[in-house]
Amino acid sequence: MIEVTNLVKCYGSHVAVNHAEFTIEKGEIVGFLGPNGAGKSTTMNILTGYISSTKGQALINGVDILDEPLKAKKDIGYLPEQPPLYLDMTVKDYLNFVYDLKKCKLPRKSHLDDICELVMIKDVYNRIIRNLSKGYKQRVGLAQALISNPPILILDEPTVGLDPKQIIEIRSLIKKLGKKHTVILSSHILSEVQAVCDRVIIINKGLIAADDTTENLTKSVTNDHRIIVRIDGKKDEVLKVIKGISGVVSVNADMEREKGTYDYEIETKEDTDIRRELFKRVSARNWVILGLKTTEMTLEDIFLKITMGDSIIIKKRSDESKYADIVQSAGEALNEVPENKAEIISDEKSDETQG
């Protein structure tokens, strides 16, 4: 089980993770979803003890990753965005090397055999890693994470750079791993997370914007009804008239489609059908409706809305009211002087050395 409370990570004055709070139970497959730069890798690097947090706490099976890193890390297998491979080694030498490094106690030969079988790299066991395809390299990276048989697997963008066939292979492998391990994976691609995960945590600009099961998130957004209507009429007046219809939550005009004609995207309250009223009001003004369709919002829509719009939609799995506090304190964090200056300076230094 992973418990994260009030986690903050600042790089200098930049807040990369902003009061993140979540709990991941044993056996879950959870996706961190967010655009590039959202703070996914930073969060994963903190959970795995690779970097320290500025504030807050991360517990791995009850053990604080900062207080007892060795003990906490024993429970984690980590596949960073760039798999930590030694390219000049053979798969065999590399996995044996990791086995020794992790002081693994399981029977060497049969354990490594089992892992290679599971991640399907038996046929390249004696090959030099450099010469393997990206898909194989990624699976060797997964094998490395599985040595010492950790209950928790953390995988950072595990399918990035793979071709469609390799993506399907890795996905089904992750699903298989999910039967025995708690899995956290990150992705900037919604379909990826939808295909593999039971639950999704959407991260945007360091803030957790949504946290729910994929099923619930989809359900909660498909209740919101949307109509797209193409009207030939004066834009500003059309907007005003639509806004005046009871049940309309919001209306936006899209770009000009034909001369003087716009698509209007209307969101209405649940269980309200405004189409008849819309028709009456439009025709009363001698405007013309050139098209009308109702669309259900998809998870893709909610993701785009969260990550591109200015408003954040929040679906908090556990405690709705608690979220208000987090948002407030997140706002504060942006103005706050980070608590542990020494730690931040050392991070920046290590940046330079990493080049």
Interface residue list for ligand ADP (CB under 6 A)? 11, 14, 16, 34, 36-42, 351
Of 40 and 111, CB closest to Mg ion: 40
Of 39 and 150, CB closest to ligand ADP: 39
Stretch that binds Mg ion, among 4-12, 39-47, 67-75, 138-146 (CB under 5 A): 39-47
- Strand 2-11 with 55-60, pairing: antiparallel
- 248 and 268 Cβ atoms separated by less than 8 Å: yes
91-101 vs 108-118: helix axis angle to the nearest 10? Answer: 120
Alpha-helical (H) ranges within the chain are 40-47, 69-73, 91-101, 108-118, 134-146, 164-177, 190-196, 214-222, 235-243, 275-284, 299-308, 320-335, 341-354
Instruction: Please state the closest distance from residue 72 (CB atom) to Mg ion, in A.
Output: 21
Task: List the one residue out of 289, 232, 237, 292 whose CA is nearest residue 266.
Answer: 292
Stretch that binds Mg ion, among 32-40, 104-112, 158-166, 252-260 (CB under 5 A): 32-40
SS3 label, residue 295: strand
Residues 6+ apart with CB under 8 A from 329: 6, 19
The partner in contact with residue 307, picked from ligand ADP, Mg ion, none with C-beta cut-offs of 5 to 8 angstroms by kind, is none
Instruction: Please state the closest distance from residue 145 (CB atom) to ligand ADP, in A.
Output: 18
Six token digits for residue 189: 């691609």
Instruction: Please state the closest distance from residue 164 (CB atom) to Mg ion, in A.
Output: 21
The partner in contact with residue 351, picked from Mg ion, ligand ADP, none with C-beta cut-offs of 5 to 8 angstroms by kind, is ligand ADP
Number of residues lying near Mg ion (CB under 5 A): 2
The partner in contact with residue 18, picked from Mg ion, ligand ADP, none with C-beta cut-offs of 5 to 8 angstroms by kind, is none
Residues 6+ apart with CB under 8 A from 35: 188, 204, 307
Interatomic CA distance for residues 197 and 283, integer angstroms: 48
Instruction: Please state the closest distance from residue 38 (CB atom) to Mg ion, in A.
Output: 8
The partner in contact with residue 165, picked from Mg ion, ligand ADP, none with C-beta cut-offs of 5 to 8 angstroms by kind, is none
The partner in contact with residue 148, picked from Mg ion, ligand ADP, none with C-beta cut-offs of 5 to 8 angstroms by kind, is none
Task: List the one residue out of 55, 63, 68 whose CA is nearest residue 18.
Answer: 55
Amino acid at 9: K
- The yes or no reply on residue 41 touching Mg ion (CB under 5 A) is yes
Of 68 and 351, CB closest to ligand ADP: 351
Half-sphere exposure of 81 (CA within 13 A, CB side): 14
Instruction: Please state the closest distance from residue 343 (CB atom) to ligand ADP, in A.
Output: 13
Of 160 and 327, CB closest to Mg ion: 160
Interatomic CA distance for residues 28 and 225, integer angstroms: 31
Of 16 and 190, CB closest to ligand ADP: 16
The partner in contact with residue 37, picked from Mg ion, ligand ADP, none with C-beta cut-offs of 5 to 8 angstroms by kind, is ligand ADP
Instruction: Please state the closest distance from residue 39 (CB atom) to ligand ADP, in A.
Output: 4
Instruction: Please state the closest distance from residue 18 (CB atom) to Mg ion, in A.
Output: 16
Instruction: Please state the closest distance from residue 135 (CB atom) to Mg ion, in A.
Output: 20
Half-sphere exposure of 211 (CA within 13 A, CB side): 15
Residues of this chain that bind Mg ion (CB under 5 A):
40-41
